[in-house]
């Protein structure tokens, strides 16, 4: 009997990686990455299963950021313009990242969307609807997910720093004398003061 083992996260799908993270049973983990079953592994030579499990523990986690890729005939692109990153996208991502493994394909569906047009090396992606299909992302190599998360967290820090500075400028402007028609600006200023420390943490 032979077991075909992955060399790195590039060789397993996101679906397999999610399965690995959701079980501590070594036989289930080995079955997941070798496309076999636990019952088959139980009948396999002990030496083979032991070697397979030892190899599984040596798999190196890789995090390769990929800006665009093709999947099932569709070209997907990572968020190309963070200035156009909407509040809806940010809020949904924050919620999904609380359980990142179970929500991995949904997270990818927010950060990678179909490319709608290309020009001068750049591209535009489909607008966010909060109803993006996500099941297809279970088939991507697992390293794409880890690379995407690393890039997102790095960019997120930079985005929040610049956003925080802009909010502070806006708050200072709002404290200047305003005409009578500025109804609601006091409440808005208090809101800015409240959220700014949380965003710049």
Confidence tier at 85 by pLDDT (50, 70, 90): confident
Sign of CA dihedral 132, 135, 139, 143: positive
**What does the alpha-carbon distance between residue 70 and residue 62 come to, in Å, rounded to a whole number?**
20
Over residues 27-78, the pLDDT tens digits come to: 999 999 998 999 999 999 999 999 998 888 887 666 778 999 999 999 999 9
- pLDDT, one tens digit per residue, over 140-198 is 998 888 888 878 777 766 665 554 454 455 445 444 444 444 444 444 344 445 444 44
Q: How high is the pLDDT of residue 101?
A: 86
The more confidently predicted of residues 1 and 133 is 133
> Which pTM was predicted?
0.70
Cβ neighbors of 99 (< 8 A, separation 6 or more) are: none
Annotated domain spans of the chain? 9-58, 68-199
Confidence (pLDDT) at 44: 92
Q: Quick one: pLDDT at residue 162? A: 53
Describe the chain by its helix, strand, coil percentages, rounded to 5: 60, 10, 30
pLDDT tens digits for range 102-138: 899 999 999 999 999 998 879 999 999 999 999 999 9
Strands (E), the chain: 68-71, 74-78, 112-119, 122-125
- pLDDT for 163: 47
pLDDT at 201 over 70: no
pLDDT of residue 161: 59
């Amino acid at each position: 009997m032979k077991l075909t083992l992955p060399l790195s996260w590039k060789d397993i799908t996101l679906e397999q990686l999610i399965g690995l993270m959701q079980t501590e049973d070594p036989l289930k983990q080995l079955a997941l990455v070798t496309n076999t079953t636990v019952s088959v592994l139980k009948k396999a030579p002990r030496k083979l299963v032991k070697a397979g499990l030892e190899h599984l523990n040596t798999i190196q986690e890789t995090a390769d950021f990929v800006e665009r890729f093709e999947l099932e005939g569709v070209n997907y692109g990572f968020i190309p313009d963070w200035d156009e990153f909407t509040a809806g996208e940010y809020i949904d991502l924050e919620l999904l990242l609380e359980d990142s493994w179970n929500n991995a394909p949904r997270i990818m569906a927010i950060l990678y969307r179909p490319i709608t047009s290309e020009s001068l090396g750049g591209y535009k992606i489909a607008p966010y609807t909060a109803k993006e299909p996500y099941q297809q992302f279970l088939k991507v190599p697992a390293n794409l997910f880890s690379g995407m998360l690393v890039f997102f967290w790095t960019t997120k820090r930079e985005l929040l720093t610049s956003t925080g500075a802009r909010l502070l400028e806006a708050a200072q402007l709002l404290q200047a004398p305003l005409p009578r028609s500025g109804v609601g600006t006091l409440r808005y200023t208090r809101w800015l003061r409240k959220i700014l420390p949380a965003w710049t943490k």
